Amino acid sequence: MKTQGFATACAAGALMVASLGNGNAADAQSPHSVSANIGVVSNYIWRGVTQTQDDPAVQGGLDYGHESGLYVGAWVSNIDWGTPDPNYELDLYGGFGGSVNEDFSYDINTTYFAYPDGHDSDFWEIGASGAFRWVTLGLAYTVAGENEGGLFDDGDLYYYGSFDYSDLPYDLGVSLRAGYYDFRHDRETLDDGSESPSADYWHYGASVSKAAGDFGTFSLNWDQNNGDPDSPGGYDNDPQFWVGWNKEF
């Protein structure tokens, strides 16, 4: 069971949005935009937990946006939870975002995490976030999940925050992040009648990225969580160091 879009975006740089149209002056003012992305990571980490048993992943997505702030998109990655299936993840999302002024922006979104070749794994979230300059704070709530009575069922809460600054010399960027997962069903009843340790956990990490123009964006990343290995989450709380590459079109 899965323990980021939000699929991790640590290897991603700024989106390079391509406007729909034939390229003339009128089309440059189109209210519509579309972009695509592809990436490779040495370890797919989502909310502080590996989704690939510390193995690499190939990922990609497609996004549509409107000047009103509405957007929709899809993103896919291979995964490995140490079970025969599922073998890939498909995220479908949409939302509305905008800016109040030069310093403050907001986003309201929903994401459906699908595992088409798996069983009892899909779940659906709604979320909201606000950003002041380089600092973002957000909350995601699990509306429904197929793993009834377990992790990633309705009622789970995920709190997160980040600091992102990309205006450094040599096209370097730095990111700091942290999050807390509060599961509604965070314990299991063991054979002796006692309860397992809680599956709730903190995670934290940092990234340094380098924008390389037409060659995309490269990143060096660190992630770690404090989850209990004996809890229903079965966490590996050793530090994870990974590298990533992302290209936007």
| CA atoms 110, 128, 51, 149: torsion sign | negative
Span 60-83, mean pLDDT? 97
Asked whether residue 5 carries a pLDDT value surpassing 80, the answer given is no
Q: What is the pLDDT of residues 102-148, one digit of tens each?
A: 999 999 999 999 999 988 899 999 999 999 999 999 999 999 999 99
Report the pLDDT value the prediction gives residue 44, as an integer from 0 to 100: 98
Span 179-198, mean pLDDT? 91
DSSP 17: P
Question: What does the domain layout of the chain look like in residue ranges?
Answer: 32-248
Span 46-62, mean pLDDT? 98
Contact assessment for residue 11 and residue 39, using Cβ atoms and an 8 Å cutoff? yes
Q: How far apart are CA 138 and CA 149, in angstroms?
A: 25
Report the pLDDT value the prediction gives residue 24, as an integer from 0 to 100: 47
Query: pTM for the complete prediction?
Result: 0.88
Q: Which CATH superfamily is domain 32-248 in?
A: monomeric porin ompg (2.40.160.40)
Span 19-35, mean pLDDT? 64
Average pLDDT score over the chain: 90
Contact assessment for residue 140 and residue 115, using Cβ atoms and an 8 Å cutoff? no
